[in-house]
């Protein structure tokens, strides 16, 4: 019988636990959950055409990259241009223009009389 070092067994168990504890953007065990995508916004203090400017930060808290991230944003009204290299506004949805990686948030600004709601509606995790 072969003797397996204790450190190899512990490493294997730790890797299995890490895999099992991460959710999935599609609801499957082992990857990411939609709740792993955090959306925060704050006033920048800047005023554009008499409207307050807001900074939106979209962040992935999951270990795995999240692609095709879509948020409900109700056409995202703004009196200033929105950076389409970061977010694409398509009807009622906003699509993050690139993959979201843990520790690399996507940030953009818009200016409107009231802050808008951003609800994550879909994403695809890749592990």
Lowest mean pLDDT: which of 13-27, 64-78, 102-116?
Answer: 13-27
Is the entire prediction scored with pTM above 0.85?
no
Find the DSSP H helices in 1-127.
6-21
DSSP 104: B
Cβ proximity of 37 and 72 under 8 Å: no
Residue with tokens 């499957």: 28
Domain boundaries, the chain: 36-125
Q: Which residue has the higher pLDDT, 109 or 23?
A: 109
CATH class of the 36-125 domain in this structure: mainly beta
Give 1-33 pLDDT, tens digit per residue: 444 443 333 333 334 334 444 444 444 445 789
Q: Are 63 and 22 in contact (CB under 8 A)?
A: yes
């Amino acid at each position: 019988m072969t003797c397996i070092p204790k450190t190899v067994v512990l490493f294997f168990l730790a890797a299995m636990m890490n895999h099992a504890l991460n959710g999935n953007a599609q609801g499957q065990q082992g990857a990411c959950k939609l709740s792993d995508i955090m959306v925060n916004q704050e006033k920048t203090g800047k005023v554009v055409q008499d409207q307050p400017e807001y900074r939106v930060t979209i962040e992935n808290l999951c270990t795995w990259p999240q692609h095709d991230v879509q948020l409900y944003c109700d056409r995202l009204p703004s009196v200033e241009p929105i950076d389409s290299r970061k977010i694409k506004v398509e009807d009622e949805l906003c699509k993050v223009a690139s993959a979201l990686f843990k520790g690399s948030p996507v940030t953009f600004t818009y200016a409107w009389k009231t802050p808008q709601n951003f609800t994550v509606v879909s994403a695809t995790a890749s592990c």
